[in-house]
Structure 1
Amino acid sequence: MFFGKFLPREGNFFELFNEHGSKIVEGSRAFMLMVQNYSDLTLREKYAAEVDAAERHADRVTAEVNRLLHRTFITPIDREQIHSLINAMDDILDLFQDVTETLSLYDVRKITEEVLRLGELSTKCCERVQHAVTLLPRLSRPEVAESAIKTCEEIDRLESDADRVMRSAMSKLFREQEDVRELIKLKAIYEQLESITDRCEDVANLIEGIVLENS
């Protein structure tokens, strides 16, 4: 008991979650601006750099959360939930960085409508993830818990929409794309983009579990 008095009891986990969530949205919007302005090399490089900066910032937040877990005696929610949630959130921006780098490495010259559509759905998912995270400190209030569940359900629906776009994109790609190299490039990019919504759904599932255990 005496020892416990000298250990941090809560930390600023919720503030760090919010900071990370804001970087997820920042990175996703920078990605959308990049693909929307892809034909302009200067803007493409500018927004790609912004995606990278958001990912690096988010990495620092993730590292701080994991360090804080080791120093904190009593956490606001279960320790494993904190660890799983911040790492699942970090996966989202990692994928945005991956697809940004893939576009460059594969020397993709033109952005398809399917890339834009999957990017839009991914960005919407990210915005809902950020909103859900902001609700975590107030889950003891029934109306807040209900709002969190509804937001998670919205993420699930967006992920299902992305699945449908992905299936349609793949069908079109294999029916219409005669250049095998382009087919391989676009297939990889579509898969990475669809994976972003999967990771957002992972976050939503974790938040739903937190709501059920803590509301």
Structure 2
Amino acid sequence: MLFNRAKDRVFYQTLIDAAANLVEAMQLFRENVETLEEKEQFAERLKELEDKGDDYTHLIIRELNQTFVTPLDREDILQLAVKLDDVLDGVEACASRFVYFRVHQTTPYLIQFADILERSAKYLHEAFIALEKRDFSTIRKLSVEINLLENEGDRLMRESVGSLFENPTDPIELIKMKEIYEKLEGVTDTTEDLADVMESVVMKYA
């Protein structure tokens, strides 16, 4: 049986490119929440990156349908691509909420969430580079770091939502921010889900 190494490269490179696209999105999100002064422009740019992420996912699916022998199990490749897309969808949805919820002021919690997500995205990008090299020990270390950041996200969500109820004055504002904080925590959960898929791949091939 012949193995098409060029096709292998297509799968790995597309996943790496999709992860790099995610890093760019998270960096934009962090810039956005520093002031929220240009949230409409940032939301548009994040939507463009989300569309680009969709293109990467569709390319992976198309290649899976056209390739007989894949470098990893088809289900694993598809799961990795879909989870990457889910993370990007989640952060783009948060940026959109700033616009249609009319959130005009940032908070220390938003900035902390953005920092967690940016660091998680960078670790994911490194992990996909390591995956092509079959550097499984690096993937394990990065997965631990991502799990720690997800735990930090859990703590941050409890603190941020709790702070809304300390001295509530505007119930509408409370509802808006509560949803955004919970949505951001959900994105950190998805990054952990993706790291877990990567770890399952490592267990299978190590």
The match for 2:174 is 183
The match for 2:191 is 200
Cα displacement (A) at 1:64? 0.5
Cα displacement (A) at 1:71? 0.4
**Bigger-Rg structure (1/2):** 1
Cα displacement (A) at 1:122? 1.1
Matched residue count: 205
**What pairs up with 1:20-99 in 2 under 5 angstroms?**
20-39=18-37, 41=38, 44-99=39-94
- Please give the TM-score of this superposition, normalised by the length of structure 2: 0.94
Judged with a 3 Å threshold, the aligned counterparts in structure 2 of structure 1 residues 67 and 177 are, in CA distance, closer, same or farther, namely same
Aligned pair partner of 1:131 in 123, 126, 146:
126
Letter in 1 for 2:112: R
Q: Deviations over 1:172-201 (max 9, x none)?
A: 111123210000000010011111111100
The match for 1:19 is 17
State the percentage of identical aligned residues. 29
Query: Any stretches of 5+ residues in structure 2 without a counterpart?
Result: none
Cα displacement (A) at 1:116? 1.0
Distance, in Å, in 2 between the alignment partners of 1:130 and 1:171 is 33
The match for 2:162 is 171
Q: Deviations over 1:9-67 (max 9, x none)?
A: 6461000001100010000101111111313x3xx333322211111111100001011
Letter in 1 for 2:18: H
- Are the counterparts in 2 of residues 25 and 130 from structure 1 also a CA contact under 8 Å? yes
- Please give the TM-score of this superposition, normalised by the length of structure 1: 0.90
Judged with a 3 Å threshold, the aligned counterparts in structure 2 of structure 1 residues 74 and 108 are, in CA distance, closer, same or farther, namely same
SS at match of 1:178: coil
Query: Any stretches of 5+ residues in structure 1 without a counterpart?
Result: none
Q: Deviations over 1:142-178 (max 9, x none)?
A: xx21111000010000000010011111111111232
Structure 1 consecutive aligned stretches of length 4 or more whose deviation exceeds 4 Å: none
- Are the counterparts in 2 of residues 28 and 126 from structure 1 also a CA contact under 8 Å? yes
Cα displacement (A) at 1:214? 1.0
Distance, in Å, in 1 between the alignment partners of 2:138 and 2:23 is 19
Aligned alpha-carbon RMSD (Å): 1.8
